[in-house]
């Protein structure tokens, strides 16, 4: 089992979808956010064995206190994700996020 994570905007989710289609016979878990487009794209996607949607939000376009709250939410969700990944026996992950202007994926 492998995990996939990335989201917020459609551009990041397109990458997750494209990679998922290339490894279609591989058992996958998706971890995304309750905010953004994540649930609309992957909540009912049968190609994922399981999907988790965590209470997070982006740090970009937030004021100072909003950034602090967003970072706290991310740290809290990180702990939940680790527990979920251990429970699902994930061997590795594919993560897609945005740094500055370009998208990045790590396997």
Question: Buried b / exposed e across 48-80, counting CB within 10 Å, b at 16+?
Answer: beebbbbebbbeeeeeeeeeeebeebbeebeee
Q: Average of pLDDT values for 5-9?
A: 69
The pLDDT value given to residue 64: 92
Residue range 37-53, pLDDT digits in tens = 888 888 888 888 888 88
pTM score of the predicted model = 0.72
- Segments forming the whole domain that contains residue 57: 2-106
Structural domain count of the chain:
1
The pLDDT value given to residue 26: 86
Q: Is the pLDDT of residue 99 over 60?
A: no
Q: Is the pLDDT of residue 105 over 90?
A: no
């Amino acid at each position: 089992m492998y995990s996939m994570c990335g989201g917020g905007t459609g551009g990041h989710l397109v990458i997750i979808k494209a990679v998922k289609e290339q490894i279609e016979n591989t058992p996958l878990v998706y971890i995304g956010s309750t905010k953004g487009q994540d649930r609309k794209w992957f909540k009912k996607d049968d190609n994922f064995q399981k999907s988790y949607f965590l209470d997070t939000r982006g740090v970009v376009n937030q004021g100072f206190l909003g950034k602090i709250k967003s970072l706290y939410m991310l740290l809290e969700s990180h702990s939940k994700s680790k527990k979920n990944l251990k429970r699902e026996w994930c061997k590795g992950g594919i993560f897609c996020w945005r740094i500055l202007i370009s998208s990045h994926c790590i396997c």
